[in-house]
Amino acid sequence: MDQPAELDSWFDEVSNKTKKAVIFSSYASTATNVYPKIPGVTRDYSEFLGKEQITKDCIIDNSFPMAAISSVTAMAAGMASYYAIMFLTGIRIPKDAIQIDFDGWTILKINVSVAG
């Protein structure tokens, strides 16, 4: 969970004011996420998360050592940098939020384009 909890909302607000894109990326346990926030193209990250945003009371005790953490971190960084490269070079404008769980290789892909 990001600290402070309002961090995602702050980045959404700054992105909207400056009309600049931001890539949200995170990992937890065996899963990684990437979300492209592009003003006028994709929905606000806060809107996407809505009431489903993780809160402190639903975080699993993570005080135990995780052998996979470094590889999951590397994958999260790779996904975020690939989205940034796609956007910055104009290869493609990313419009999908992606979640990959490496324990079973399940992939969730959600189109987050602004309706219209």
Q: How many domains does the chain have?
A: 1
The order of strands in the sheet holding 96-101 is 22-28, 31-37, 96-101, 106-111
Within-domain flag for 13: yes
Range of the domain at 79: 7-111
pLDDT in tens, 64-99: 555 556 788 888 899 999 999 999 999 999 999 999
The residues, any chain, with a CB within 8 Å of residue 115's CB and separated by 6 or more, are none
Instruction: Let me know if residue 49 belongs to a domain.
Output: yes
Give the per-residue pLDDT at 61: 58
Nearest CA to 42 out of 92, 114, 106 is that of 114
Q: Is residue 29 part of a domain?
A: yes
pLDDT at 9 exceeding the cut of 90: no
Residue 47 binned pLDDT confidence (cut-offs 50, 70, 90): confident
For 96-116, the pLDDT digits (tens) are 999 998 888 999 999 999 875
Task: Identify whether 1 is part of a domain.
Answer: no
46 lies in a domain?
yes
**CATH code (residue 56):** 3.40.50.720
Residue 26 lies inside a defined structural domain of this protein:
yes
Contact 86, 94 (CB under 8 A): yes
Inter-residue contact 95 to 112 (CB < 8 Å): yes
